[in-house]
Amino acid sequence: MKNIAVLVSGGGTNLQALIDAEKRGDIKNGKITCVISSKADAYAIERAKKAGIPAVVMPRKEYANSKDYSEAILAELNKQKADLVVLAGFMTILDECVTKAYPYKIINVHPALIPSFCGEGYYGLKVHEAALAYGVKISGATVHFVNEKADAGAIILQGAVDVANDDTPESLQLKIMQNVEWKLLPKAVSLFCEDRITVKDGKAFVDL
């Protein structure tokens, strides 16, 4: 059974999707053993508590820089004996001390079809604002491994939705969460825990 650490910063709907999937038995060979939040007031912490999962609050603002913060996160992940780290709406970019310690063991969900609307500065609603400003007709979400470059690691799963003429950043965000993120993130986590993802030449291949 693999220990899953989920890192959060906000509402935690993706964390909830993982908790619900685990309860249904849809996360095979994996268990969410801790939640780490970069914000003290994140609602995701309540979700963890309600599910009986230990939550650790590590506010980003209490650390001088990204390196210090990443070292503290790494120490906590090691202490928790994490086998898989899931970034579920985690809004801080981690330094390479973490990505190097957990190669192909950190999974992120990004609310766009990578390589569009991704990288530094693209997070949360900003991603959907950019997609609507560009006028794309489809958008979606990507579940990918995390490496030292923001949103540039090997893609595991992607899913798309149609963009409607009257979509707002908020409506597009919700549509992508409901139709893609909340389904594909638990699926990718289970595939990882079942050892059904292989990586070759920097690309991920899923045994579906």
Indicate which residues carry an active-site annotation: 110
User: Which residue has the closest beta carbon to ligand GAR?
Assistant: 89
User: Up-side HSE of residue 25: CA atoms within 13 Å toward CB?
Assistant: 0
Q: Write out the binding residues for ligand GAR, residues 56-85 only, by CB under 6 A.
A: none
Radius of gyration over every alpha carbon of the chain, rounded to an integer in angstroms: 16
Produce one character per residue of 121-149: b if its CB has 16 or more CB atoms within 10 Å, e if not.
ebbeeebbbbbbeeebeebbbbbbbbbee
Instruction: Map residues 113-152 to x or -, x wherever contact with ligand GAR holds by CB under 6 A.
Output: ----------xx--x-------------------------
In one-letter notation, the amino acid at residue 30 is G
13 forms part of the interface with ligand GAR (CB under 6 A)? yes
Q: Which of 11, 119, 159, 169 binds ligand GAR (CB under 6 A)?
A: 11
105 contacts 84 by C-beta, under 8 angstroms = yes
Q: How far apart are CA 121 and CA 201, in angstroms?
A: 28
Nearer to ligand GAR, 19 or 44 (CB): 44
Nearer to ligand GAR, 104 or 182 (CB): 182
User: Up-side HSE of residue 165: CA atoms within 13 Å toward CB?
Assistant: 0
What SS3 class is residue 197? strand
167 forms part of the interface with ligand GAR (CB under 6 A)? no
92 forms part of the interface with ligand GAR (CB under 6 A)? no
CB of 120 to ligand GAR, least distance (A): 10
Nearer to ligand GAR, 167 or 181 (CB): 181
Considering only CA atoms, which of 143, 144, 162, 165 is closest in space to residue 153? 144
CB of 136 to ligand GAR, least distance (A): 16
38 forms part of the interface with ligand GAR (CB under 6 A)? no
Nearer to ligand GAR, 19 or 127 (CB): 127
145: which 2 tokens? 């491994």
Binding region for ligand GAR (CB under 6 A): 10-14, 44, 88-89, 109-111, 123-124, 127, 173, 177, 181
